Amino acid sequence: MTNIIPLLMKHNKTFPLGISLVSFLLTLGFSSNEQFAQAATPENAPATLKNLLTQIDIASNRGDVNSVMQFYSPNFTHGDGLNRQTMEQALTSFWKRYPQLRYSTRLQSWKSEGNTIIAETVTTITGLPSGNSNNLALKATITSRQRLAGTKIVCQEILSERTQLTSGNKAPQLVIKLPQQVKVGQRYSFDAIVQQPLGNDFLLGSALEETIQSTKYLNPTPVNLELLTAGGLFKTGRAPSTPGHQWISAVILRNDGMIMITQRLVVKK
pTM here? 0.83
Residues 6+ apart with CB under 8 A from 222: 14, 15, 16, 17
3-state class of 48 per DSSP?
A: helix
Same domain, 155 and 172: no
Same domain, 262 and 169: yes
Q: What is the pLDDT along the chain (269 residues), one digit of tens a residue?
A: 222 222 233 333 333 444 333 444 433 333 333 333 345 688 887 777 777 788 889 999 999 999 999 988 999 999 999 999 999 999 998 898 888 899 999 999 998 888 888 889 999 999 987 766 677 899 999 999 988 887 788 999 999 999 999 998 888 999 999 999 999 999 999 999 998 777 777 899 999 999 998 888 877 778 889 999 888 999 999 999 999 999 999 999 988 899 999 999 999 99
User: Which residues constitute the domain of residue 62?
Assistant: 21-160
Q: What is the DSSP letter of 35?
A: -
226 and 253 Cβ atoms separated by less than 8 Å: no
CA nearest 179: which of 246, 253, 98, 95?
A: 246
Beta pairing partners, 15: 223
Number of independent structural domains in the chain: 2
Residue 30: per-residue pLDDT:
33
Residue 128 resides in a domain? yes
Residue 133: per-residue pLDDT:
65
HSE-CB at 102 with a 13 A cutoff on CA atoms is: 6
Same domain, 129 and 85: yes
Q: What one-letter code names the amino acid at 87?
A: M
CATH code (residue 200): 2.60.40.730
Residue 245 resides in a domain? yes
Beta pairing partners, 167: 258
Residue 23: per-residue pLDDT:
40
Same domain, 185 and 251: yes
